[in-house]
Amino acid sequence: MAADSEPESEVFEITDFTTASEWERFISKVEEVLNDWKLIGNSLGKPLEKGIFTSGTWEERSDEISFADFKFSVTHHYLVQESTDKEGKDEESEDAIPQSMQDLLCMNNDFPPRAHCLVRWYGLREFVVIAPAAQSDAVLSESKCNLLLSSISIALGNTGCQVPLFVQIHHRWRRMYMGECQGPGVRTDFEMVHLRKVPNQYTHLSGLLDIFKSKIGCPLTPLPPVSIAIRLTYVLQDWQQYFWPQQPPDIDALVGGEVGGLEFGKLPFGACEDPISELHLATTWPHLTEGIIVDNDVYSDLDPVQAPHWSVRVRKADNPQCLLGDFVTEFLKICRRKESTDEILGRSTFEEEGREVADITHALSKLTEPAPVPIHKLSVSNMVHTAKKKIRKHRGEESPLNNDVLNTILLFLFPDAASEKPPDATASIDNSNPPPEGEDYTLYNQFKSAPSDSLTYKLALCLCMINFYHGGLKGVAHLWQEFVLEMRFRWENNFLIPGLTSGPPDLRCCLLHQKLQMLNCCIERKKARDEGKKTSPSDNVTNAYPGDAGKAGSQLGLDHLRDTEKEKGEVVKSWDSWSDSEEEFFECLSDTEDLKGNGQESGKKGGPKEMANLKPEGRLHQHGKLTLLYNGEPLYIPVTQEPAPMTEDLLEEQSEVLAKLGTSAEGAHLRARMQSACLLSDMESFKAANPGCFLEDFVRWYSPRDYIEEEVTDEQGNVVLKGELSARMKIPSNMWVEAWETAKPIPARRQRRLFDDTREAEKVLHYLAMQKPADLARHLLPCVIHAAVLKVKEEEILENIPSVKKIIKQIIAHSSKVLHFPNPEDKKLEEIILQITNVEAIIARARSLKAKFGTEKCEQEDEKEDLERFVSCLLEHPEVSVTGAGRGHAGRIIHKLFVNAQRAAAVALPEEELKRSGYPEERRQNSASDFPPPVGRELILRATVPRPAPYSKALPQRMYSVFTKEDFRLAGAFSSDTSFF
């Protein structure tokens, strides 16, 4: 059985030769891509305009195909053009040669400054490239190259595509391409030669003409004329007669408030090295014919001075070192440090005073605890200044900042310290420079930094300068420690901090600026309270700010109050008789003990006689013509407490606390009570100033819109005004009603303080002392970026560069988005700094070019404007034409630059020049000794000749040649007639 089944189980393999091979599949994929991109048939466009290859828009699209397991990328490069109307041109276009063949002869775009290499070599507006997909892969063997060329030839024939198709061969760095273009009865082969060294016979025009003629093999006896375009490129590297105008900063020149010629508070600017490394001059002869000029191995007519067309490009130094960019970058590096101030400066400074240090760390709790000892007797001041002496004693000469530097900075930050008399209470802002209201000044709103005339802004610049020039991180820590000690000194001695606007913290600024403003508020309150104790120990509250009180009273008329929700904020409050201890406010009940039992009841029932008989206290001034509703007494505006100023971190803490209370009825009630502390205080002040008043009286002053008056007719027929509380005030368990019932008639001076300036000041000082240099840098980095942007804008105005204006706007928009977040990412900050550095480099390049071309020395106004326009174009465009070539004003300057460089080189290297004079290139250069030998020679040869037979169609032929010291390339496009050969 098994033996019988053996012959049946055998499988015979049949080779099916109709199955597509890998090569056929590859060709099919190429055809599929060409069909998908609709590259079939001839699409004639309009003739190419001059310069369109540089000014026009190039686009590309890619796809991926594979030959067996070897992957190729197919890329279509094309110049975006307006579509042309094809109707009426069908008959003409049937026999027309492909667009790419016509482009071979176009002379409008020879030598484009910025384009794909195939565009430069062949002048094509559209082409497709097949190249290995992986960067490391390469088609090296000749058989594989021929196989790929055969594939594209078949694909072009099958699809009727008339777009040139190239295959990249050899290693990528060689940029070797072979290609083909097919049309109706015509074909163009794109060939290339690439050598390391140029053969001597091909270094000149006559040798290249021989190659071109032999390649096209024209059988006609009088050969059609060959059109020639030549470009010689000269490089100027030596700027002997021009020193780079930016001098490096002189670090030793600090004494007197200067660093490298820069005052404190002014950022440095400019490149430390010449940002322009080379000038490339391209001399072009665009339209020549054979026989007009001689260029062979012994003689050349190609004198660059006589060239009809000059164009210049500048090569920029790679990443030039820029002062402003380095300045900000070094400051950003502090943000990544982890050390505290003590670790940086050394803990030994406080070792001997360990016990006192412990006292300092607990100073906050000591100050906030109720204690019978007056605050001024606590030893905080003594401890801190003892510590300050210890620091100086231990450091000695090893201090990161010497005394001259430190004193200069402190005088810059605190100019009021130079005057002998103490700062005035109103001098909280430096009035020497009134704050401008321009766009630059308000930039801090967008950056969340600080105003450019503020102490915080100046501190940021000083720390930045210290970090860069003096002591680095240690210098920063030292200055910050001195700054914190100065803040404590000012708090204890009632000296206002200069350079800060008065009023509550500005939440548009950085947190550190808000903290300093908060400290200033505390000093202001403490100073007013202390002065009140000295001048008016009695209970006469109206003596605190007599001038301000009158001013406030004149502003608060009846009509003014009706238009606003709450006008009490305009009133200046008194703090003259307040105690430093929070517990002392209980003593105010000593002469009103009888109100304990029935005070609240009387408030409900409508003002009893006991309350009306109380002596009024804490009156500021009479409120216009308003009187109390029930007893007809004049209504007085009370002296009230100001609401507590808050920084953004305190607001966040308060929000979190209120949010944690939850949504229950009890939580909501507790939240309302916490939020109505200021309202309760104002009610108590109002009751004390207006004995016998009711809630309606308070509402008429505090919130006029909640008291509605209507005209009604009484029983006797008279029209009278009748008023009542609004609907929201009549809601049961209303917060206003509850607060009114619990409020007692206590003047503001005897109430518990809404804002405890002592506690808040100590919290701020503790916060400042705990800041590490990294935290400090994070706070101040927006100010530094703000200053850098202002510096760049200031420098740009002097140069007037349009592209820079656009980039600055982008920097401001980008920075506004990034800096508004509390902790921006380092990567995004680095991007902003890089943008600023790039702008600085552009401005430095503009100054370098202006110095080299001598725009300031130009006496004639027209020539000066032309030169400035020329320099501006050099920065904006990749290549700029020189008006008048070598005979124009700019051309003469460039010629002179080369002449001076040649003279300097001849003096420096006479022996080398003699040795090198044997080279043919040098011998031919003697006639043009004003210029060095050209670093690059480019030639384009064109002709329209019949190939391969005399009776074939005359078709375009083109050969491009370029050779430099280490590179020689020939790129030929040779067309032939496939119908009549």
Check whether 277 has a pLDDT greater than 70.
yes
Q: Is the pLDDT higher at 974 or at 96?
A: 974
pLDDT digits (tens, 9 = 90+) for 573-583: 333 333 333 33
Compute φ and ψ for 636, nearest 5 degrees: -105, 140
What pLDDT does 622 receive? Answer: 83
pLDDT band of residue 852 (cuts 50, 70, 90) is: confident
Please check the confidence at residue 544 and state whether its pLDDT lies above 70: no
Give the pLDDT of residue 34: 93
Distances (CA, A) of 192 to 10, 121, 145, 958: 56, 10, 13, 12
- pLDDT of amino acid 353: 43
Asked if omega into 948 is within 30° of 0 (cis), the reply is yes
Nearest CA-CA partner of 611 in 535, 688, 675: 688
Question: pLDDT tens digits, residue range 5-45?
Answer: 555 556 666 666 666 788 999 999 999 999 999 998 877 78
The pLDDT, as a whole number, for residue 759 is 86
> What is the sign of the dihedral through the CA atoms of 395, 397, 398 and 403?
positive
Half-sphere exposure for 375 (CA within 13 Å, toward CB): 22
Contact 969, 961 (CB under 8 A): yes
Give the SS3 label for residue 491: helix
Q: How far is CA 163 from CA 56, 59, 137, 972, in A?
A: 19, 15, 26, 17
pLDDT (mean) for 953-977: 92
The token pair at 606 is 């409508």
Q: CA–CA separation, 28 vs 155, rounded Å?
A: 7
Q: How confident is the model at residue 611 (pLDDT cuts 50, 70, 90)?
A: low
**pLDDT computed for residue 104 by the predictor:** 92
Radius of gyration of the chain (CA): 44
State how far the Cα of 892 lies from the Cα of 774, in Å rounded to an integer.
55
- Classify residue 646 by its DSSP letter: -
pLDDT at 557 over 70: no
Lowest mean pLDDT among 485-494, 563-572, 808-817, 837-846: 563-572
Which 3-state string (H, E, C) describes 412-481?
A: HHCHHHHCCCCCCCCCCCCCCCCCCCCCCCCHHHHHCCCCCCCHHHHHHHHHHHHHHHCCHHHHHHHHHH
> Residue 954: is its pLDDT beyond 80?
yes
pLDDT of residue 2: 47
Count CB-CB contacts under 10 A for residue 595.
Answer: 17
Q: pLDDT of 109-139, one tens digit each?
A: 899 988 899 999 999 999 999 999 988 888 8
Average pLDDT, the chain: 77
The pLDDT tens digits of the residues spanning 292-344 come to 888 888 888 888 999 999 999 988 888 888 888 888 988 888 888 888 887 77
Rounded Cα distance between 690 and 669, Å, is: 29
- Tell me: the pLDDT tens digits for 883-905? 888 888 888 889 988 888 888 77
Q: Is the pLDDT of residue 437 over 70?
A: no
Per-residue model confidence (pLDDT) at position 318: 81
State residue 358's pLDDT score.
46
Residue 802: phi and psi, rounded to 5, are -60, -40
Q: Give the model confidence (pLDDT) of 40-72 as tens digits.
A: 887 778 888 888 888 889 999 999 999 988 999
What is the tens place of the pLDDT at every residue in 83-110? 655 444 444 455 678 889 999 999 988 9
- Give, to the nearest 10 degrees, the angle between helix 323-334 and helix 773-799: 160
**Neighbour count for residue 925 (Cβ, 10 Å):** 17
Q: Beta-carbon neighbour count of residue 568 at 10 Å?
A: 23
Contacts for 717 with CB less than 8 Å, ≥ 6 apart: none
Tell me the mean pLDDT in the region 490-517. Answer: 88
615-619 long-range contacts, CB within 8 A, separation 24+: 615/691, 616/688, 616/689, 616/690, 616/691, 617/539, 617/541, 617/688, 617/689, 617/745, 617/747, 618/541, 618/685, 618/688, 618/689, 618/747, 618/748, 618/749, 619/541, 619/542, 619/689
How many Å apart are CA 229 and CA 232, to the nearest integer?
A: 10
Instruction: For 681-699, write each residue's pLDDT tens digit.
Output: 888 889 888 888 888 888 8
Which tokens belong to 158? 């099958």
Q: Which amino acid is at 94?
A: E
**What's the rounded mean pLDDT across residues 420-446?**
54
| The pLDDT of residue 309 | 94
Backbone angles phi, psi at 249, to 5 degrees: -65, 140
pLDDT in tens, 213-236: 888 887 776 788 899 999 999 998
Q: Tell me the pTM.
A: 0.71
Cα separation, 784 vs 834, in Å, equals 14
Q: pLDDT exceeding 90 applies to what percent of the chain?
A: 21
Mean pLDDT of 927-935: 77
In this predicted model, what pLDDT tens digit does every residue of 629-648 receive, in sequence order? 877 788 888 888 777 788 88
- Lowest mean pLDDT segment, chosen from 263-272, 416-425, 514-523, 541-550: 541-550
Q: HSE on the CB side for 169, CA within 13 Å?
A: 20
For the chain, the straight-line distance linking the first and the last C-alpha, in angstroms and rounded, comes to 72
Q: Which band of pLDDT confidence, cut at 50, 70 and 90, is reported for residue 601? A: very low
Burial of 704 (0-12, 13-18, 19+ CB in 10 A): buried
CA 973, CA 191: separation in Å to the nearest integer? 6
Taking residue 710's Cβ as centre, other Cβ atoms within 10 Å add up to 9
Q: Say how far apart CA 871 and CA 860 lie, in whole Å.
A: 17
Strand partners, 62: 75
- Residue whose pair of structure tokens reads 């074909």 in the numeric block: 187
155/104 Cα distance (integer angstroms) = 23
Q: CA-based diameter of the chain, in Å?
A: 137
The identity of residue 779, as a single letter, is H
CA distance 352 to 340: 20
For 386-416, write each residue's pLDDT tens digit. 444 544 444 444 677 778 888 888 888 888 8
Return the H-helix or E-strand segment holding 25.
Answer: helix 22-36
Any idea what DSSP says for residue 222?
A: S
